Structure 1
Amino acid sequence: MLRIEVIISMINYYYRTIFENTGTAMMILEEDLTVFLINGECVKLFGYTKEDLEGKKDWLSLVNKADRNLIEKYHHSRIIDPDSAPRNYEISILDRYGKIRAVWLTVAIIPESCQTVASFIDITKNKELEKLSQRYKLIFENARDIILCINQNGEIIDANSIACQVYGYTYDELLSLNIMDIRAPETHLNAFPQLNEANLKGILFETVHRRKDGSTFPVEVSSQGINIEDVRYLISIVRDISQRKKTEESLIRINKATDSASNGIALIDSKGTSVIYHNKAFYNLFGYTAEELKQCGGLATLFCEQSAAQEVYESLINGNYWQGVLKMRSRNNLSLQVRLHGDTIRNDSGNIIGMFGIYTDITEQKLAELALANEKERLSVTLHSIGDGVIATDIEGRLLTINPVAENIIGWKQHEILGRALVDFLEFSDSKACQAAGQVNNDIELILSSSNQTECLVQDAILVARDGNVKTVSVNSAPILTSERIAIGHVLVIRDVTDIRKSEIKIALSQKLESIGALAAGIAHEINSPLQYISDNTVFFRESVSTLLKLIQSYQKFAGNAIEMNCLADFAFQIKAMESELEIEYLLEEIPVAIEQTMDGIQRVRNLVLAMKEFSHPGTKQKKLSDLNKGIEATITISRNEWKYVAELNADLDHNLPLINCVMDEINQVFLNIFVNAAQAISEVIEKGVIKRGTINVSSRLKDEYAEIIIADNGGGIPNALISMIYDPFFTTKPVGKGTGQGLAIAHDIIVTKHQGSIDVYSEEGQGTTFIIRLPVNCSETDLEDML
């Protein structure tokens, strides 16, 4: 027994010695993951002493949070079945100083115990090297230029995929070549001197390379020597400059084409100093040749102010197009006013390879502008006496003058906004707020744009004055042109139509109220008819329920007596007599009919009320996608009492008609006006005995990107002499008291002005009248954004 204990002690000592002296960080864990034992390598890895961890720390507290759930899951699985969880996997740990380390973890259950032994291999540096290598490879392979690595003998030892594509070799073929193999023979003489210079201090040079198929192409090479593990290599970045060379050649070839231009044209190097080419007009303007300019100090010689030359160069080199007027001088020291248009010339890679300038002598134009200023002064008095607001701007949209009427409209004084852009002080509400058509906003943006070169008229734009007051205005914008039709500014004429529009709204509202008032008696009649038989049926229900209750009470009484006296036959006879006396058969037959009639009446009233609500609900004046067919049906319902006694109304509606962007209650008003006119026209011919009953046909369909609604009647028609006047305000052929002459005028304004549609009438006296209303289906992007 003693011998066994000695052997066990020796084994424990043996394994303890191995555990402590192994070069791998190891840890023994209890079943609850408490640290039981660690070795010296583990102390180095985690930074904790044995006293810090053994018997005190939970193993999971040493693991990065992202890996804790996985380790705990594997641990529980391993206790149940040692083979159910992987023994080796990568995790992240936290050392004593909070640093995250990547380790390779190996885990095993100690036989005949609940303890686990874990070993750790620190792979942090390996991971960092792997990331660095991946980053280098990513840059190397995704570079747009050719990258070559060359040894001291000129042998290619590495190349990226672009190199293989450009030279036409496979990767292995390329690595078997010397740098001389890919250079054109005529460049070999300079090759080794260039390699030596690159090795010493780096070099940038141009040469010619050769592809596998023997074709050559010009390149720009940037080469630099580097040390890798004490071995000297050259890293060369090679760029194909074929396009640049072609561009330079093309610049020379345009010489003949530009020599005939009236403006001076010059091509300048990428540094902005030397003129490569200029046309005759440039020489005539400044009196210098390219060579003479070079000897005099370059392009800067032509600038009166060197700061201006620097400004132009910096703008171009930063990728901006430059345009402006400069003071320049000619060879005979004559001061010139020159408009310069400058831009850069770039290759396919976007790199600047040159610049160009277009020089226009605008001395005469400046004199013309002076004359224009004098004319502007003469016009000032005229502008101050005009009843409309007038705003004049320069070509870039900056305010030049504004008359007192315009000042009153917008709320700004001229001295406060002189020289400012229109958008700084002229504020228009968006279409949603102003309840105007979407096109208004697009036109306002065009008016406010300094690039607008066309005349533009906008009706019913909503202007927000400086004090916040909202005004309805019409705006007319036109360019100010010279005799050569060159725009030098803009003039805006603004008319305040707020009061006019308010009056029109009152008239439209009055017309709508008039229509609703005229329909009121008919609607009341339409509601009263079903309500009458609903009331009659309700009285019938009350009496029938009373009778049925009396019968049920008798049933209850007879049933109780029959049970007590055991004489069912006698009491059954009495029940039959009671049913006969109370006319139960009649009630059973009539009650369902009365209920059905009542439900029908309720539904008719409900439909009429819903139609009235659909028709007359004020909503908003903002356009929205609406169902025209639904509007037609609602208008037919509420106007029924107007036409049902004189005509049959047939509706043929296209149920595939798309939703239309419109103000639906205004469109309903148009339908109502035409329905009522049709009914009245038919009534007149019936009174004359021409027909006994008329017909009104209504149809809808999609035609050529428009929703088309056709309303036709077989009334008396409109005389040809009057057709041209039917849309005039207050024009009517009806007797006094039957019409105001506003219905069709308002309908025309709603369809044509507010909805950019059309309303056409076709009529023949004695045959009837047909109205065709067309509304655009497609809405603008602005309308669509507002609806979404």
Structure 2
Amino acid sequence: MTDTSILLAMDDFSQASKIKEILSSANFNTISVSEFEKKNCLYPKVYNTHNTEFNFNYTNINTVDLVLMDKSFTKNHSLLNQLKELHRETYIPIIYITSNSDETPIGSFDSNVIYLKKPFESRELLLTLELVSIKYKMENALYESEDRYRLLIENADDPIAIINYNGEFIMVNPSAARFFGCKTENFQGKTMWDVFPKEHADSQIEDIRNVLDNNEGQVFEGKTIIRGKEHYFRTNIQPMPIKNGGMKMVQLIAHDVTPLKQTGEALQKSEEKFQEVFNNANDGVSLHSIEDDGLPGRFYEVNDVVCNRLGYTREELLEMGPKDVITQETWQKMPKLMEKLNSKGKIIFEAVQISKDGNEIITEITNHLFNFQGQNMITSISRDISERKKAQTRLLRILAGIESTEDAIGILKPDGCHFYHNHSFNELFGYSVEELNVPLGPVKLFVDKDLGNHIFQIIMDGGSWDGELEMISKSGRVFPAFIRANAIKNNDDQVIGLIGVLNDITERKRVEYALKTSEEKFRNLAETAVDAIIIIDTDEKVVFCNRSLERIFEYSEEEILGEYFDTLIPKSHVEDFQLKLDYHHQHDSESGNVFDSFGMRKDGSEFPLEMSLNTWETEGEIYTTFIIRDITQRKLNEFKMKMREEIFQLMSENIDEVFWLIDPLTGQILYMSPSYQKIWGDSIENLYQNPRSWIESIHPQDKDEFISYIFGKNGSSQHREGIECRVIRQNNDQILIRVRAFPVINQNKEIYRRIGIATDITGTKNI
């Protein structure tokens, strides 16, 4: 833009001066109408549009690149005619400055006129000139040659496209492709609807077709969506010549004015909310002037944080300056700080401020230099860092703690050079910092040097490593150690150091070996026990179980470890079990830590059990050991003695075949008639020792239906006539039985027993 000369034709001298000042600050060359006349040997005329005749000399017209003209000059027909003549010789864009009261645009010639309404801000004028300059350069490039036109298109910062009447992309330049995150060839065969949301594509194609139908270029400004984001464009759409009877096409040049829109909106919001944000900031914010001696002057504005921190009212502070609220020691540093601020535009320093009541406050101050209405000012953002200073003190205490810890701690540079270790590190290895302060120097501490190099490479690449390995001291002592090594990173995720924490675990290894030996003895004893042995932690999760658990509960060790203990307790008995367990924990010193409960097998069947438990503590952790015994047989014997008369009475009334009685709550066999051996081919004694054996004898294809039926899981309304199933005896013979089951209702109309009858029907059917 520095090579652009502008002919300034203004009716208002003060307005012209202001515009010249704006243009000069942006490095534009401006020529007034009178200056232009004189420079080009024109007739000297009075600087008044209404009484002026203009007669341009075309021999030196290249001195003007752009015309910035007040509306009032358009009344001078001589001037307009001469401008038209100039335009025939070379392209010179014209910007008409109009007032807000203008209802219609000024009549123009060709397409080189742009309108700018008053009042306007300097940034609007400069943006308009920038757009005009771009258009000017593009048009002249087109006039020169098609090759230059193509070069301009391909290198233009603005998106440019050629689109036909159907909305198909004929060409796009790289800038347009970059907006869509792709290459120009990706637009081949695409339409407006392929790259824009439908409503935006419909609106844009309507503008394009209006230009083509009227054969007149237009400039549009609007919003569209690209890759899910809003963009605002000022778009110049021009019809293109039709070649060889082809389809009508337009050239579209879009200038992204999104930043301008966003800046305008942000500025408006900033102006509306400045006072609120200013006074509600977390940090103290103040503005102050700069005196002639270069030092800070009086406060221009302060926010509530500054007032509250220093204890002054805003009115009091506006009569003061930074010198009045900082210590003399801080003020003596100010000349050098101001020198640095003037060279860099920003400084950060610590200062001690003094409140109205005389308290000293340590603050971190960030000063920014800026120009406000032609005057250099300073924005000062102050933060109370008294707590940070306390934190630094705590950090020093932490460092003292690191020195006194028993862990060996070493810190290295990113290249593996050792530059710090604590007292414990020195005691453990016997090396000084200097002896290890070479790249990868600490590798000598590893017995396995290859492993040491591998670990260092991981850490230097930003990773971490922990584990057990063998280390060697300066004296040659080899010992087991546990090491935790990590990369130290800054906020940009760059490795700025390495740290390692080591522990000599010789004693721990000795204890672990003793524990391992003890554990092996315990496991041998536990695995040979008939009863199930389970150990739970404070969270009541299983941490150990023996093999008998699988025999009793049908869970493998892998399935139950880590599960909550109540996995083995029926839901209906969990609450009762928990009460008994809590009572034990509260009275663990009392004798009699044995109680009865119910267990639940993996298949969901329930059975009575007896638990003895003991709570113990090791290494600060509390564990509870359960020894569990299946007492189904005991319960059956107890119940059989009690219910013998009732059972035989039911048998005499209902059945003369194999008869059984089941507890509906636990699913356990309360009684099985002697005929069981005739059908199942096994003794009742074996049945009571293995209560699941009679179900396991049912043919696999019939087992699920048999279990569901005898335990009443399908409801009382199904299988009233019974079911048929096959029994596989121990000698592998198969027999076919018909089974009928009935609920027994007590006086409370509750099912308190389930009875079943099995009849051998092998002879009546083929199996």
Name the TM-score class by shorter chain. 0.3 to 0.5
> What TM-score results when the alignment is normalised by the length of structure 2?
0.35
